[in-house]
Amino acid sequence: MILGIIYVRYIPVKGVKCTSVSDSNNDSVQLVDIREYNQSYKHPIPNAVNIPIAYLKRHIQEITGCQLHVIASDSLEKNIGIRLLRKKGYNVVGYTLIDNHCLKNKSA
């Protein structure tokens, strides 16, 4: 049981690449912002559906697209959110961390 919790939270999700929001900003991909309301209010992402990770199970019907790009504040939020969305049948094609650690690591 403990290994399951560690896996869901800390092991990176395979098959989903870190990209910038502008790379996924087309009509076929829906942006889903899973940051908390106070973070997304200060730094809003245009055209993104804001559903904090704590409310994702209750408000998942607000997501209309099949292909999603997830915007998260940290890797723990990203891992839990992507796994939940995949479990519900959505295709997550990319993610962005607001602190951009993954994008900095690609250029280094």
Q: Provide the residue ranges of all domains of the chain, joining segments of one domain with +.
A: 2-107
* 68-86 residue pLDDT tens: 999 999 999 999 999 999 9
9-53 tens-digit pLDDT: 889 999 999 988 877 767 889 999 999 999 999 999 989 999 999
Q: How far apart are CA 5 and CA 73, in angstroms?
A: 20
How far apart are the C-alpha atoms of 21 and 69, rounded to whole Å?
8
| Homologous superfamily of 2-107 | Rhodanese-like domain (3.40.250.10)
pTM for the complete prediction? 0.87
